[in-house]
Amino acid sequence: MSEPQVLGWADCTLADCFRIDSGSAPGRFRNDAASVPLMGANGSIGACSTSNFGPGYIVGRVGAAGAITRVQGRVWASDNALTLEPKGDVDREFAHYLLLSAKPWGLATVTAQPLVTQSNLGALRVLLPSYGEQRAIAQVLDTLDTAISETEALIDKLKAVKQGLLHDLLTRGIDTNGQLRPPQSEAPQLYKESPLGWIPREWEAVELNQLIDPKRPVVYGILMPGYGHPGGVPVVKVKDIFDGKIHLNDLLLTSPQIDREYSRSRLKAGDLLLTIRGSVGRTAFVPPVLDSANITQDTARLAVIGTDARFLRAYLGMAVPSRFIATHTLGVAVQGINLRDVRRIPIARPSGLEAKAIADEIQSQEQRLESESLSVAKLRLAKAGLMDDLLTGRVRVTPLLESVQQAAAQTGA
C-alpha cells in the first residue's frame, strides 16, 4: 500500500481490504425447504441445509456479474458468486460503500461473456480512510440510505392507498356531502344495476362516443408521417406515450403538407390520447406545447366534453372497460382495436360536479405520489454526489460532523 500525503488515506486494492473467495455449488446441501438462503449472483435463488459464508458481501461472478449483495447472516454462496469478508481495518458498514466506489459491475464489460474473476475483482483500486473516518462516512451515508428507504416505503403505501381509493371513487362516487357513498352491500338503495355492474343511482352507463365532442369525433391520425421534416409539425407516436405522459424528447416532425392532409386529427391542449395499435390502452393528455400537433394511425384522439376528461381516463382502467378493450383487440403480429369499438367502450357518467370531485381527489393522490417520487429521486442524487465526494476525499467528513455537532450544541444551549 502507498499512502498519499494529501489525503492521509491508503491507496490500496480490494484484495487489501477484503478476504475474497469463490462460492461453490451446493450439491447435496440444496434443500428448498430449508432455512439457509442459497445466494446466486444477484440475491437469493433457493435454500440450503447448511452454510458456507457470512456475514459479509457477495459480488456476482457470472450472470448478474458485478452485482453487490450485502449478507447479514449465514448463507450458502453458490459458484456464481464471489464472497468478500472485510478485513480488520475495514469497518463493516463502510465496506458496502467502498465496494460501490470500486464499481465491480464495470469488470463485466471487459469480455464478451459477462464475468468477474477473483483476481480482477481483487485488483480494483480504492482509497481507504482511517477507521474512525470510515465509520463517520458510513454514518452520513447510512442516514441518507435510511431516508431513501423510508420514502420508498411511503411511496409503496401511497400506491396501495391510491389503488384502493381509486376503486372506491370509481364504483361508489362522492355524495353531495363530499363523502364516499357507503358500499352497495351496506346501502343497496343508493345503487342500480347496469351493464357496468352496480353503479350509483345518479350515474348513467354510456358509450364513450356519447362523451366526445361531435365537432371533433374520435379519429386516428397520419398513416405515413415520413421520416422527419426540419421545422415541421410534431407527431405523437405510441412510443412517445408511456408512464401516463407524452414524452417530448424524440417526437417526429412531419411536413406541413402531410399535416394539412390530416387536419381532422390535429390536437388541442387537453385532448386525451388512447393508443390503439401495438401497445393498446396507453393514455395521456395533450400538453399546451403540443397544441396543433398531430398523431399517427396508431393513436386515437378523444376530445372529451361530456364529463371530466380526468374521470374518463381513470375509468378506462376499470374492469369492464378494460375487458372490453382486451376482447376487441385483435391481431397476432401487431394487435389493435378499431375506432368503431373504441367509440363503444362502456363508461359510467356521474354528474359533471361529481365527476370533477372524483377527478380532483384522484389528482390529489397522484400529486402526492409524484411529490414523494421526486423527493426520493433528489435523495438518490444527493447520495450519489455526496458518496463520490466523501469516498474520493474531495470532501472530508470530519468538518461535516463538527458542523453538525456544533449546530446540535447551539440548539441544546
Task: Give the pLDDT score at 237.
Answer: 97
**Residues 160, 118 within the same domain:** no
Q: In a 3-state reduction of DSSP, which class is residue 393?
A: coil
Burial classification of residue 409, based on how many CB atoms lie within 10 Å of its CB (0-12 exposed, 13-18 middle, 19 or more buried): exposed
H-helix or E-strand spanning residue 411: helix 397-412
**Residues 49, 27 within the same domain:** yes
The beta-carbon contacts of 138-146 under 8 Å, at least 24 apart in sequence, are 138/91, 138/93, 138/94, 138/96, 138/97, 139/93, 140/386, 140/390, 140/397, 140/400, 140/401, 141/97, 141/383, 141/386, 141/387, 141/390, 142/93, 144/379, 144/382, 144/383, 144/386, 145/383
Cα radius of gyration rounded to whole Å, the chain: 29
CA 8 to chain centre: 41
Residue ranges of the alpha helices (H) in 84-130? 92-102, 118-122
**Residues 253, 322 within the same domain:** yes
Is 4 within a domain?
no
Q: Which domain covers residue 377, as residue numbers?
A: 133-185+350-413
CA 246 to chain centre: 16
Number of domains in the chain: 3
Q: Are 281 and 274 spatial neighbours (Cβ–Cβ below 8 Å)?
A: yes
C-alpha cell at 359: 377527478
**Residues 217, 307 within the same domain:** yes
**Residues 232, 279 within the same domain:** yes
Query: Which of 300, 331, 349 is the endpoint of a domain?
Result: 349
Is 199 within a domain?
no
Per-residue pLDDT of the chain (413 residues; tens, 9 = 90+): 444 444 678 999 999 999 999 999 999 999 988 999 999 999 999 999 999 999 999 999 988 889 999 999 999 999 999 999 999 999 999 999 999 999 999 887 655 567 899 999 999 999 999 998 999 999 999 988 999 999 999 999 999 988 899 999 999 999 999 999 999 999 999 999 999 999 999 999 999 999 999 999 999 999 999 999 999 999 999 999 999 999 999 999 999 999 999 999 999 999 999 999 999 999 999 999 999 999 999 999 999 999 999 999 999 999 999 999 999 999 888 899 999 999 999 999 999 999 999 999 999 999 999 999 999 999 999 888 988 889 888 887 766 555 544 544 554 44
**Residues 311, 361 within the same domain:** no
Is 195 within a domain?
no
Q: Are 238 and 362 spatial neighbours (Cβ–Cβ below 8 Å)?
A: no
Is 5 within a domain?
no
**Residues 208, 345 within the same domain:** yes
Is 386 within a domain?
yes
**Residues 280, 391 within the same domain:** no
Query: Which of 102, 128, 154 is the endpoint of a domain?
Result: 128
Query: Which of 324, 349, 374 is the endpoint of a domain?
Result: 349
**Residues 210, 344 within the same domain:** yes
Is 252 within a domain?
yes
The sign one gets for the Cα dihedral 241, 245, 246, 248 is: negative
Is 3 within a domain?
no
Is 1 within a domain?
no
**Residues 388, 321 within the same domain:** no
**Residues 181, 215 within the same domain:** no
**Residues 344, 209 within the same domain:** yes
CATH code, domain with 326: 3.90.220.20
CATH code, domain with 401: 1.10.287.1120
Task: Give the pLDDT score at 113.
Answer: 67
**What's the CA gap between 295 and 225, in Å, rounded?**
9
